A and B are shown apart, each in its own frame.
Chain A
Amino acid sequence: MARRNNIWANLDWVTISLYLVLVLLGWINIYAAVYNEQFESIFDISQRYGKQLIWIIAAIIIAFTTIILEAKFYVFFAYPIYIIFVFLLLIVLIIGTEIHGAKSWFVIAGFNIQPSEFTKFATALALARIISSHNFKIQKLKSMLSIAAIIGIPAVLIFLQNDTGSALVYVAFILVLYREGLSGVFLFFAILAVVLFILSLIISTFTIFIILAVLSLIIFYFLNQRIKDFGFVLIFLIVITSSFWALKILFLPQLNFSVAIMIGTAFSTILLLFWIIRKRLKKYLILIFIFLGALTFSLSVDYVFENILEPYQQNRINGLLGIVSDPLGADYNVNQSKIAIGSGGFSGKGFLNGTQTKFNFVPEQSTDFIFCTVGEEWGFIGTTVVVILFLLLLARLLIVAERQRSVFSRVYGYSVASILFLHFIINIGMTIGLMPVIGIPLPFFSYGGSSLWSFTILLSIFLRLDASRLELLY
């Protein structure tokens, strides 16, 4: 029994403090976002801020309960928990209620509960369990497949609920797998593909082409380090490309400038291949292939999207991507969000003085766009503090994860950090126009019981595992 009392002393209070600070800041900003003069009290439970307080208190009780349970419990019941929640995902697909186009809610006694929020920690537990099992080796096909199933099943089910944003979060587990030995190539290509995909929908293909070309040249220079070769390649590219450009002006004036340049460069790159093979610089082949591949990839994403798909299909893909369909033109939401954040300036307009977020210019200002309120009322100082707080929490989670003796706890810790990280980059990235509009909440900040509780459970299980890290070796 003495040991149980020790739990509280063994808990990582740095994480807990960061958690409490973020939840508190979230609450204050929800108050500011939906502030209504008629219901001035922050405790008024007819308003979202009053309700959020109830969610927070409940969350603390949930955290408390989670921590009281034995660490062993989570290890032994990892699979059953996982199965129960996957089952709930199935049920919600059948009898769930549709809210904002996503059929992912149970409405029980007036409360809306979203089971997909809770499958995150269940999946993390199952993943930790399987990776920590004795015969697991990430290079083995069988192990790989079982991981794919554990991560894939909930992701697909959530996707089927039409809640792509939440499904996307499962990409985060690649970071965990990478830490546990998955080849870095996977991580590299996953990041490259995602970045290219998003970029090709946000910025023009030509811009991507320029970035890719310059990046490739720089990499080539660092790999080769011979000024003669570099100069040859550079001049070769420029000569061939500009001759294509000249050809275009002479014979095909109607052809797009950027298309001509891209064809020229692609052609000259293919010519370069022969030069590279002759010069036996085979290790740079991969660079050329990646360059050409990436270019083709983003071109085809763009081409397929713009030319082959009908407008309604484009909308559907936007919908699948979670890019919110927008009656005021594609970037109205993002524009409003950027204006709100930008108008905060260096030090903000002050608490409750935001105008942009209050007059409903920013959509979903208390949930997905809560960061706008931070930006508008607390300025650059406020946003930086929030970003740094999140970075501190993420870093602390990695440190704590790394100090675990059991693989189970470490994998789980990495899962927590990765999930939080993905929410962090997608949500904030969206509000400042660096990501497409994908509706997922900012952890601990956004209004809503389901999301707050799920992140709380996710985090507190890890705290519990960490508190007994010295007891057992799994």
Chain B
Amino acid sequence: MSAEPIVRARDIRIWYGTTRGPVKAVDGVSFSVGKAEILGLVGESGSGKSTLGRGLLGLLPDGAAMDGELTFEGVDLLAATPKQRFAYRGTHLGMIFQEPLTRLNPLMRISEHFSETLKTHEPSISKAEIERRSLEVLRVMGIPPSRFSSYPHEFSGGMRQRLMIALALVLRPAFVVADEPTTALDVLVEAQIIKILHDLRNSFDTSLLLITHNLGIIAEACDRVAVMYAGQIVEIGAVDKVFADPQHPYTRELLRSTISLSTTALHSIPGAPPDLVDPPTGCAFHPRCPDALAICAVTRPIAYARDGGAPRSGSTDVACWVASAKSGTVTLTPAEAAPLPREELADADEA
């Protein structure tokens, strides 16, 4: 990984306005993505991971507000005008959506999709150049050039997702957000797409933010992982470190509750994710956390680097009082370190 990150986000907050008050979908998130790096963003539904991905590209709906610092190759994206951000999308920042069929126009041939994309950003491009560049990307995606003038319905589900990836990459963006790119696909096709995404850095030198709820995909495809809970990143670091020795109780419990081929007993996290209009005080995970201390219910944890000191890019950052007390980065008073009495959860609250 090169020293200068492609994307740097600091204290990003994205709130939606509702009649019940603001929904704090993303609430103080900081991370960076290096050149040709794959950062996995994992979390359960409602954790704010998709909102964050869209926010990075400036694709938020009306009624959403975003604040913080977001730079792309040193350029401040949040200070840019909508027109400037529009110019950045596609050419510098790409997006791969979840459902390829709803994103492809059924009345347009594949060739027309490519020529529209390229002409929007490079109005003077020649027809021969469009074909040359499109076919080159399609070839990397394993789509036969003889299908260039076909319509979307003539392709299978996996082929359509390859087309979506090809459409995002034909403009050679340096940074791509892929939001659940394989959720609608079968396991064998999913593995093919994951392999393509993993190899993007070799063929296109692309940095990738891969949003998924599947820890298996993170383990196979990503260099680093950010675990999101209730709009916050609770743990971020190298995938092998985080998975082998998770520091945050949520990461640990999430890994334990994942059903894999080696599962011999069922495990689940008690309770349900919080309402983001009125999230719990202190650490948002404290009502469900088996390790919670008295301080967890009162004060939001301060992120620390696992190998000591303040969090910095590339190290493992954890936002948890228990973990930071164990590592010696903070010293808690006996009152703060007292175990938090757990309220009994009814089954009904659990699911």
State yes or no: do A and B come from one complex.
no
Chain A residues within CB distance 8 Å of chain B = none
B interface list, Cβ under 8 A from A: none
